[in-house]
């Protein structure tokens, strides 16, 4: 009887290990947890989430600051739905192929924090267009980035926000952006007014 239980237990362990190994082999590198900066959980500021314009403005404010200035990642987290995605598109200058990277709000913060603080990255909105239907909205927001350490422009492009209102506040569900290039200029309706 003792040998039978040992064999049964061994078979169970082997089956469990096989299941875990199969899961690990199917997981993509994006599924692998990465260390991240621990951020306090704070309540959302009403001015940040009560209007579409307010939440878009806050999204620019939280990532902007001078050299050595910590970013407002705790406040940043309050703007986004927990299932949100960032998607950044670009174009490889050598091959001409479209490039894509994506991640969660936490992954973006982990990736961008050191650079933003080191160079004093600041980004602001140039112009926007809001398309709303009931409790959902899309915002096309042109932006200009700058590194304050060198005072040189970093980039321009368009952020596209998908938002929803749950009856209490606005949430950013996704943010997709592409940078301006000679073959991809800012559209006239998203150019800043002079």
pLDDT of the residue at 164 = 98
Is the pLDDT at 137 greater than 50? The verdict is yes
Residues 6+ apart with CB under 8 A from 21: none
pLDDT of the residue at 19 = 35
Match 């670009």 to its residue by tokens. 90
CB atoms inside a 10 Å sphere around CB 119: 17
Q: Do the beta carbons of residue 162 and residue 172 sit within 8 Å?
A: yes
Q: What is the pTM of this model?
A: 0.78
Report residue 6's pLDDT band, with 50, 70 and 90 as the boundaries.
Answer: very low
Window from 22-26, 127-131, 158-162, 188-192 with minimum mean pLDDT: 22-26
Report residue 153's pLDDT band, with 50, 70 and 90 as the boundaries.
Answer: confident
Q: Do the beta carbons of residue 149 and residue 133 sit within 8 Å?
A: no
């Amino acid at each position: 009887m003792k040998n039978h239980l040992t064999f049964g237990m061994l078979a169970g362990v082997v089956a469990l290990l096989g299941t875990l190994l199969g899961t690990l082999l199917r997981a993509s590198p994006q599924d692998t947890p990465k260390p991240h900066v621990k951020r306090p959980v704070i309540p959302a500021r009403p001015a940040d989430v009560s209007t579409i314009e307010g939440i878009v403005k806050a999204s620019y404010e939280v990532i902007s600051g001078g050299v050595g200035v910590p970013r407002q990642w705790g406040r940043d987290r309050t703007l986004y739905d927990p299932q949100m995605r960032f998607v950044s598109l670009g174009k490889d200058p050598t091959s001409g192929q479209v490039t894509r990277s994506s991640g969660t709000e936490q992954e973006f913060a982990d990736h961008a924090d050191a650079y933003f603080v080191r160079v004093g990255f600041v980004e602001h909105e140039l112009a926007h267009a809001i398309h709303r239907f009931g409790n959902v909205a899309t915002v096309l927001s042109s932006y200009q980035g700058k590194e304050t350490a060198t005072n040189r422009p970093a980039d321009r492009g368009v952020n596209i926000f998908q938002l929803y209102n749950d009856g209490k506040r606005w949430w950013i569900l996704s943010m997709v952006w592409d940078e301006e290039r000679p073959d991809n200029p800012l559209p006239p309706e998203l150019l800043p007014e002079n």
